[in-house]
Structure 1
Amino acid sequence: MLTKRIIPCFDIKNGRVVKNVSFLTNERDAGDPVELAKIYEEQGADELVLLDITATDENRGTLLDIVRRTADQVFIPFTVGGGVSQVDHFREILKAGADKVAINTAAVKTPQLITDAAKRFGTQCVVVSIDGKWDDGLQDWIVVIHAGKKPTELRVIEWAKEVERLGAGEILLTSFDQDGQKSGFDVELTRRVGEAVKIPVIASGGAGEMSHFYDVFTEGKADAGLAASIFHFKETTVTEVKKYLKERGVAIR
């Protein structure tokens, strides 16, 4: 049985970790990314995700200095995203010490980038982030890009199948509607995507208590659960979440 992963997420802006609600700008400062990374490693986090949340809108690259400093201080795998729009950006981020690179808006605009990066660096390095928002008119989830600001005509489940076909090794699936709400992951969305693809799916958006991880692992069939505010603001710890899940029979590393 494959074990489930617990992954703290860092939304980085101006060199600091911040947390928004549904991608809006009412952010709270959560601290220094490198210091937080060391704390989460000590708590038993399986991986980390670092997202430079304003890089795409500001048309600049990822903050490589933070990537290097994180790689110097922690020894668990971490994924970096934000502002990645060409294969050379993958090379720079991986060379700086990251294990995987996440792309979102660029994948939608240039799907060939997924294939090109996978061929050059291996599928295990390519994570496609998909931000899904429920559309009442379509009665389906649509893909939104540019940090949730721009809707597309893509349907989430079909896009997930396509990114797998193109060479993605993993999907980071965020519910726009649940992000920051702390009322639970979008279990149905996660399950639908997980059933549609064979690559791992990381559930993101909505974690507010330990039971939410149990729900998304058992009902949502997620391979990993990603959270930010409940860890950053010390509402619980990675250690406590893993203990809770293990006691309930969930296979945890």
Structure 2
Amino acid sequence: MTRPPIRFNCVGCGDCCRGRHGFMSLTLAETVAWLRRGQRVAVLLEAFPASGEQEAGPGLQLPVDYGVEVRSGGMGLRIAPVFGADLQAGCPNLADDNACRIYDDRPAVCRLYPAQTHPLSVFRMDTRACPPEAWNPPAGVILVEEDGRMPPGIQAMVEAFQGELGRDAAAKVAICEALGVHLAGWRGNGIVIHIPSVQDFLDAIAQAGARTEGPAPLSWALRVVGAELAAKLADADAQLYAGDGRAAHVFMPMATSSGDPRAS
């Protein structure tokens, strides 16, 4: 069964730049450029099992092959770090006339928007910030073909972006450890968010890049909500967060087996 293609034409409203996304995923090169403009980047961290596919559910929805193998106590797991431009108060590069001040150097997500860039998500117009008049004009750019696929040109751009994120993963974990950040949430349960200062982030990138050999392995801690999951991870000899003052962070719970959404 085929459906009409989904077309899009940007109307220049600037709504996509005004904080509706919270954090925007950046490659490592984009992270450096963002920080050098004095703009904040957050580190969003989830962990998942060292082997096997991730379970479906809320979260960052990154492919398993993005993960870097680390240890949490006696448990092996994977960490898939996301470096996200902090857009909670809106994009700092948006001018009063809705023009982008860094248009020629804007990140890949901006270039692709509103196309779907998450490989495990399905495109939906109602999740986009764009107004109704931007959708399906006769001369608009096709974002989704009649068969539900992205056009080859957009697909190639998305794959290039996702490929760079995958290649960056190990370097991003090393940067996290140079920042003293080794606390993560658990896939589908919660996300740990760290927002270092711009200078601390730049210093950690330089420190990680200057190493001639890998750093000593760190034990990553996990912060979760829900007694059942905590007990399961403890039985696997994982190191659980104990409110020990590890680098300042925000914990955003997603769900628990008991349905209790409160952070522990």
| TM-score of the two chains, using structure 1 as the length reference | 0.29
* Structure ID, larger Rg: 2
Q: Between Structure 1 and Structure 2, which shows a larger proportion of strand residues?
A: 1
Which has more helix, going by share of residues? Answer: 1
Higher RCO (CA 8 Å, separation ≥ 6 residues): 2
